[in-house]
Amino acid sequence: MRKGHRQSGVALLLVLVVVAIATVVTTAVTWRQHLLLARSENLLFDDQAMRYIRGAEAWAGQILAEEARRNRTDSASDMWAVALPPVPIEGGTISGSLRDLQARFNLNNLAAVEDATRARQETRMRRLLGARELPEDAVEALVDWVDEDSIPRGRGGAEDDYYSRLEPPYLAANAPFGHLTGMVLVRGFGNAGMGRLADAVTVLPGQTPINVNTAPVPVLTLLGLDITQAERAVRERAETPFRSISGFTSRLGIDRGNFDASGLSVDSRYFELTTRVEISGRTVRHFSLLHRLAAGREVVVLQRSQTAF
């Protein structure tokens, strides 16, 4: 009798083991199928979204090229400055907007080789740092980050000797910035410093002028204008964009003898396209760095990035 009970118990245990294994296998298969389905849905969404984003880039390129044919200035009164409202697409909507990146100070201007040009850019950056309550000598760390040598500049400078002693250690780039987020690595900045400057600075290839037709008041003041002059400039260009830098200074009554107009422009070559695509409840925001070539008839995409939510 005991033997029979023991055999029955073993048999029941085996059945439970088999059932448990079968349950685990079934769950694993189901979960794998779920992952495969989710992956397929993600790939489909990414493919659809990218098709619409490429279409938005083509739309933006046509507008920028058309504006270059129509006039020689870029301002908020142009077609490119009008945002594209949400437009129905299959399963959702798409919207987009362009902004002039030359309305901001290009950090890579600090990599200028010519001493006078670099000094001018340093002066402008110092003004911005002071206005944002950041140490003005932090500009020296920015210059050290983008210049080619390994010699620290002044009190605020920093090269490999400084960065290699941090935890974790790293080295100075000694090359132009590739993205604005690179600023967080520079001595004296970090996330907080970058956050204070993010609306007034940008990162673009090479040396780029600041467009006085699109620069906001904080950027106009780093050029050496006072608040009154900067606010007047914004009002003046809203009625009629500045056609030249000489027209900019004369309309504002600026004494050219006491104002450095170098590195300024009334037109732009670099723009950022922000595209928002929503399909079946899923949304992606995509950023495209566009470069309108000198001839004005061709626009190329230099960089892409996106956030999904």
Neighbour-count burial for 211-244, b at 16+ CB within 10 Å, e otherwise: bbbbbeebbbbbbbbeeebbebbbebbeeebbee
Percent with pLDDT over 90 in the chain: 76
Q: Which amino acid is at 197?
A: L
Mean pLDDT of 208-235: 97
**Taking residues 187-191, what's their average pLDDT?**
96
Statement: residue 157 has pLDDT above 70? yes
Side chain identity, residue 63? I
User: The pTM is what?
Assistant: 0.85
Residues 6+ apart with CB under 8 A from 263: 109, 117, 120, 121, 207, 209, 210
Residue-range domains of the chain with CATH:
57-104+202-309 (3.30.1300.30), 107-198 (1.10.40.60)
CA–CA separation, 132 and 197 (whole Å): 7
Q: What pLDDT, on the 0 to 100 scale, is given for residue 31?
A: 53
Q: What is the DSSP string of 255-275?
A: -GGG---TTEESS-SEEEEEE
pLDDT at 24: 55
The pLDDT value given to residue 297: 80
User: Angle, nearest 10°, between helix axes 227-239 and 245-252?
Assistant: 120
Residue 136 to residue 152: CA distance in whole angstroms: 16
With cut-offs at 50, 70 and 90, classify the pLDDT of residue 14: low
Q: What share of the chain is helix, strand, coil (3-state, %, to 5)?
A: 50, 15, 30
Residues 6+ away with beta carbon under 8 Å from 64: 80, 98, 271, 290, 292, 299
Bridge partners (DSSP) listed for residue 201? 105
| C-alpha to C-alpha distance for 69 and 142, rounded to whole angstroms | 37
pLDDT 10s digits, 229-288: 999 999 999 999 999 999 999 999 998 878 999 999 999 999 999 999 999 888 999 999
| Token pair listed for 238 | 């809203």
| Cα atoms found within 13 Å of the Cα of residue 208, Cβ hemisphere only | 27
What single-letter DSSP state applies at residue 296?
S
110: closest CA among 255, 268, 222, 199? 222
Q: Is the Cβ–Cβ distance between 60 and 289 less than 8 Å? A: no
Mean residue pLDDT across the chain: 89
Query: What pLDDT digit, counting tens, does each position of 34-69 carry?
Result: 555 445 555 566 788 899 999 999 999 999 999 999
Token pair recorded at residue 250? 């004369």
Higher pLDDT, 95 or 9: 95
Q: Does pLDDT of 309 surpass 80?
A: no
pLDDT in tens, 62-98: 999 999 999 999 999 999 999 999 999 888 999 999 9
